[in-house]
Structure 1
Amino acid sequence: MIKSTTLKRLLAGAAVAAAVVVAGPALAKDKLRICASTKEAPYSAADGSGFENRIAARLAVAMDREPEFVYTDKFAIYIVGEFLDAKKCDVVMGADVGDERMLTTAPIYRTGYVYVSREDKNFTGASWNSIADTDYGRFAIRFYTPAEVMLKYAGKWEDNAAYLYGLINFKSRRNQYNQVAADQLVSEVANGGADLAIAFAPDVARYVKSSPVPLRMTMIEDEIVRSDGKTIPLQYDQAIGVRKDDRALLDEISAALPKIRGDIDAILTEEGIPLLPPSS
């Protein structure tokens, strides 16, 4: 039989232990592992200042998860194959709606390609072919984009190629991926190095907005019609993607998105991105 003093000590110890359990740390939240690149400003940056970083962080909170950014020093073109599919991360921001490599949410915003010009140039073209009849000879663009096709179809590529390769220090595109930095597209126009920049609006909106030289963004309103009759769209719905076998996560994200609709709109507006009504 336990003596009363011993019993009291045991009961007191049990009470302390119970108190520790009750007052102990809350269970850790599940993490939302977000695929991200350190080379994709203004979308993503190592310090979390990219506008997609900010949207992703809001999304994680709405899902009652902890945001965890899984960064790579590679360009975003490698993220799906080398990181998402390899299960190093689970969420891709800024996916095209219907990207066949992933399951995607409904659009979170829609925007398109724009011309960036100096205000004092008073350029007002709104068609992809508006550049054909100009005397402009220098166009700042990113490689592997519809802007490259625009220059070729408008007869402006050959005279512009040497200038463009100079923007990447004449590094070959044959064996490695090289790209013109988004902020450089804008600075080239601002300092007179280029007559126009042609870019996806989210690439350049931040830098146009902050430019000390007054600049103008003009949305390109039509599509490129190729010689074979096929079209190349210049406006895109942007969404969030997950692996094809991760329907549960997609559903969880989709349920949380309405909770941060206001946050998304505020972030995009602050960024200066011109928005269009979603097409789907």
Structure 2
Amino acid sequence: MTRRPAFPSHALLLAVALCAAAVPARAAGGQAEGIPTDVLRVCADANLLPFSNDRGEGFENRIARLIADDLKVKLAFTWWPQTIGFVRNTLRTRQCDLVMGTAVGEELMQNTNPYYRSTYALVYRKDSGITARTLSDPSLQGARIGVVARTPPSTVMLRHGLTNLEPYQLDTDTRAHHPAQRAVEDVAAARTDAAIVWGPIAGYFAARQQVPMAVVPLMDEPGTTPFQYMISMGIRPDEPDWRHWLNDFIVRRQGDIDRILAEYHVPLANADGTIRTEVAEPEGYRMADYRAPTPSGLRGAETVGPAEVERLAKDGAILVDVLPTPPKPEGLTSESHWVPPPHRSLPGAHWLPNVGYGAPSAEQEAYFRTNLERLTAGDRKRPLVVFCQPECWMSWNAAKRAVALGYEAVKWYPAGTEGWKAAGHELVTIEPEPKPDSGPASKVAN
């Protein structure tokens, strides 16, 4: 679990997420509340873009709407400036039930699992002559660099000899002051040469300037205060059911969350600290290299995780495994008898191999279409869960093809059999559905 640097408690949260959320004290003897059944009440700042505002324009507003829609409840906000006393006056007084953004590792607020990992970013004008990708780049020497006081970059910069700093105040009333936003705007106006601010703020406001701006997400440096932080949602202690529901929501809707974050130009980092390069959805189908990183979602389908797959299966969804049949090993003659290894999959799944190619044969397309019609009894509203293995474009292609065939409740399960096993569930041996076409040799290992 990521620990945050040792700043005073009220400044710490702002330093990590630049006003993402404050920290509540542990409720003494607080009784756990259940999952909202009527209204989802969100604690938020009315004037803190790109996170939230009272016009619903922030990405936290948008993600909160996803949660409310998933719960099938109304959405309401409790507005309070995200500065000292934010949580004390909102979450702790039970005026609201959810803080949309707080750094993982906060001991006094119960965290959900993280739903994104971001980092501080270096911002400069593309015409400035600065070409830096790290803070050690010589083009930064002597540059006037804006930084919010007491945030992690302020200490790391000194290590690289960057001492010509333009400081911005950390603790402010967000109803009137937005220091990190102003730091980006000062770079655009050439009042400073560069700035280092929290990534979501850097990406959002750099994209709104009149001059071309470079946004360089920073990787952590060994032996220094980290730049990267995992961001979760925050709830009161002793609400395990609510936390469990939110964790499952994050898994199921991660693709939708990632698409919203991308719209706001939020730089994202992978678990290993590398900066994430988003895999874009192609307009058509993936035509080759089927075992490779996939997009985070699929237009027209819902991305689901193991817990949701388990519930869907209990409710009668059709589980469709599209892993291709393994190719015959090289070196065997045509007369050699070869028995493919048994295929292990989810209990109750139907194996439709070789239907996830980008350009399947007419026979493969007919096999897919007729089996879906048979399994659903022609009901286009029957949920279909399509899967393969992790980083398997075959399942993405097949789910997209099911959407194109008019199925209205397609669920794409990108974690596949490995994700099911990792979640502690069993795999069973299954056989292909009737008359599978062997298709071309697969590049996806069984």
1:251 match:
244
Query: In the alignment, is residue 127 of structure 1 matched against residue 125 of structure 2?
Result: no
Helix, strand or coil at the partner of 1:124: coil
* Higher helix residue share: 1
- Other structure's SS at 1:199 match: strand
TM-score, normalised via structure 1 length:
0.74
- Structure 2 Cα separation of the partners of residues 212 and 177 of structure 1: 26
Amino acid paired to 1:62: D
Q: Which residue of 2 aligns with 1:5?
A: none
Give the match for residue 116 of structure 2: 109
Deviations, residues 104-126 of structure 1 (Å, cap 9, x unaligned)? 12221111011001111243333
The 5 A counterparts of 1:40-119 are: 40-72=48-80, 74-76=81-83, 78-119=85-126
Provide the residue aligned with 2:347 in structure 1: none
Q: Secondary structure at the match of 1:83?
A: coil
What is the aligned partner in structure 2 of residue 35 from structure 1? Answer: 43
Equivalent residue for 2:154? 148
User: For residue 277 of structure 1, what is the aligned residue in structure 2?
Assistant: 270
Q: Quote the Cα distance in structure 1 between the aligned partners of 2:240 and 2:188.
A: 45
**TM-score after normalising by structure 2:** 0.48
CA, structure 1 residues 154+78, in 2 after alignment: closer, same or farther (shift >3 Å)? farther
Moved more, 246-255 or 184-193: 246-255
Q: Distance in 2 between matches of 1:154 and 1:164?
A: 17
Deviation, 1:92, is 1.0
1:53-84 CA-partner distances (Å, limit 9, x unpaired): 11111112112222211101x22453233322
Q: How has the CA–CA distance of structure 1 residues 39 and 76 changed in structure 2, closer, same or farther, with 3 Å as cutoff?
A: farther
RMSD after superposition? 2.6
By how many angstroms is 1:279 displaced?
5.3
Give deviations 1:229-263, integer Å, cap 9, x for gaps. Answer: xx311011111111112222111212222332222
Aligned counterparts of 1:39 and 1:60: Cα–Cα separation in 2: 21
Does the aligned pair in 1 maintain the 2:50–2:58 contact within 8 Å? Answer: yes
Cα separation, partners in 2 of 1:221 and 1:131, compared to 1, 3 Å: farther
- What one-letter code is carried by the residue in structure 2 that aligns with 1:207? F
Given that 2:146 and 2:194 are in contact with CA atoms closer than 8 Å, whether structure 1 keeps it comes out as yes
Q: Report how many residues are paired.
A: 235
Closer, same or farther: CA 77–94 of 1 in aligned 2, 3 Å: farther
The equivalent of 1:193 in structure 2 is: 191
Any conservation in 2 of the 1:220–1:234 contact (CA below 8 Å)?
Answer: yes
1:130-185 Cα distance to aligned partner (Å, 9 max, x none): 4796121x22222331122234444545x53xx536xx6xxxx8xx6466433312
Higher RCO (Cα < 8 Å, 6 or more apart) = 1
1:19 aligns to what?
A: none
| 1:147 aligned partner, one-letter code | P
- Which consecutive unaligned segments of at least 5 residues does structure 1 have? 1-27, 226-230
Secondary structure at 1:216 match in 2: strand
How many angstroms does 1:220 deviate by? 1.3
- 2: CA distance between counterparts of 1:131 and 1:80? 42
**Corresponding residue of 2:145:** 139
Which residues of structure 2 form unaligned runs of 5+? Answer: 1-35, 274-446
For 2:107, the aligned partner's letter is E
Aligned residue runs from structure 1 range 216-227, under 5 A: 216-223=214-221, 225=223
Partner Cα separation in structure 2 for residue 276 and residue 68 of structure 1: 31
- Aligned match of 2:167 in 160, 164, 173? 164
SS in 1 for 2:251: helix
What per-residue deviation string (whole Å, max 9, x for no partner) do you get for residues 197-238 of structure 1? 10111012111112210000111123373xxxxx31101111
Q: 2:261 aligns with which of 259, 268, 280?
A: 268
Counterpart CA distance in 1 for 2:68 and 2:255 is 15
Which portions of structure 1, spanning 4 or more consecutive aligned residues, are displaced by more than 6 angstroms? none
Q: Which amino acid aligns with 1:30?
A: D
Residues 251-260 or 237-246, more deviating: 251-260
Percent identity, aligned pairs only? Answer: 30
The amino acid that maps onto 1:97 is V
Distance in 2 (CA, whole Å) between partners of 1:151 and 1:271 is 27
Match of 2:17 in 1: none
2:229 to 208, 218, 236: 236
What code does the residue aligned with 1:255 have?
D
Query: Hey, what's the Cα distance between the residues in 2 that align with 1:33 and 1:279?
Result: 34
